[in-house]
């Protein structure tokens, strides 16, 4: 075999694969991309669901005349209570950290003990710890907190009114 023949023989396999990389060579890349795509799909789906839930909560808050970002799931209005006032503001922690503040005032004909028990159970189920409880002849004041949130509940009958007033103040670190 002369030199010319060798060159032609060596050139043949290269000419066969000029069209691109063979199918089996793409498999690892395709598997890698699939491994990336599946979690990305589920993450984007989760984010869309969270966004939809936030929109639904905001609409519900507006319907109830609450501040749009009031944490209604964590601190719902007392069932059957009439909303008197709801507002949102800014506050500062004792460590000078910025906080969100929500204030809600409601009235109800239910017994003060029943209202107190409703909010105590709610806070305890949320994993909050009771840091204060005061009982006076006309009502109760209770404070619950966790590492980010503090909630003050005041349930009181204000004379000559026959209604029980429920005041909730929530502070949350940003």
Whether 54 and 22 map to the same domain: the answer is: yes
Instruction: Please give the average per-residue pLDDT across 19-39, as a whole number.
Output: 82
Looking at residue 77, the DSSP 8-state letter turns out to be P
CATH of the domain at 108: 3.30.310.80
Domain that includes residue 165, residue range:
82-173
* Distance separating alpha carbons of residues 22 and 29, to the nearest angstrom: 12
The pLDDT of residue 47? 92
CB proximity list for 129: less than 8 A, separation 6 or greater:
144, 145, 146
Are residues 163 and 109 both part of a single domain?
A: yes
Query: For the residues 148-172, what does the mean pLDDT come to?
Result: 94
Rounded Cα–Cα distance for residues 85 and 14 (Å) = 80
Residue 34 sits in the same domain as residue 114: no
Which residue spans within the chain are E strands per DSSP?
Answer: 82-92, 98-108, 129-136, 139-145, 149-157, 164-173
pLDDT digits (tens, 9 = 90+) for 113-142: 999 999 999 999 999 999 999 999 999 999
Read off the pLDDT of residues 35-77 as tens digits, 9 standing for 90 and up: 999 999 999 999 999 889 888 888 888 888 999 999 998 999 9
Q: Hey, what are 162's tokens? A: 């026959």
Q: Are residues 168 and 90 part of one domain?
A: yes
Domain contains 49: yes
What DSSP designation does 110 have?
S
Q: What is the pLDDT of residue 18?
A: 56
Q: Are residues 54 and 97 in the same domain?
A: no
Q: Report the C-alpha gap between 44 and 106 in whole angstroms.
A: 39
């Amino acid at each position: 075999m002369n030199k010319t023949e060798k060159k032609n023989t060596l050139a043949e396999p290269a000419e066969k694969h000029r069209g691109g990389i063979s199918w089996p060579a793409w498999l690892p890349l395709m598997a890698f991309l699939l491994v990336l795509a599946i979690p990305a799909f589920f993450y984007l789906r989760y984010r869309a669901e969270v966004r939809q839930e936030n929109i639904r909560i905001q609409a519900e808050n507006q319907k109830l005349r609450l501040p749009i970002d009031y944490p209604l799931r964590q601190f719902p209005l007392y069932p059957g209570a009439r909303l008197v006032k709801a507002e949102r503001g800014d506050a500062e922690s004792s460590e000078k950290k910025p906080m969100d503040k929500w204030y809600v005032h409601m009235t109800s004909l239910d017994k003060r003990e029943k209202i107190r028990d409703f909010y105590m159970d709610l806070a305890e189920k949320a994993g909050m710890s009771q840091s204060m409880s005061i009982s006076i002849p006309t009502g109760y004041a209770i404070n619950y907190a966790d590492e980010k949130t503090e909630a003050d509940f005041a349930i009181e009958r204000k004379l000559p009114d026959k209604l029980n007033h429920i005041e909730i103040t929530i502070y949350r670190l940003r």
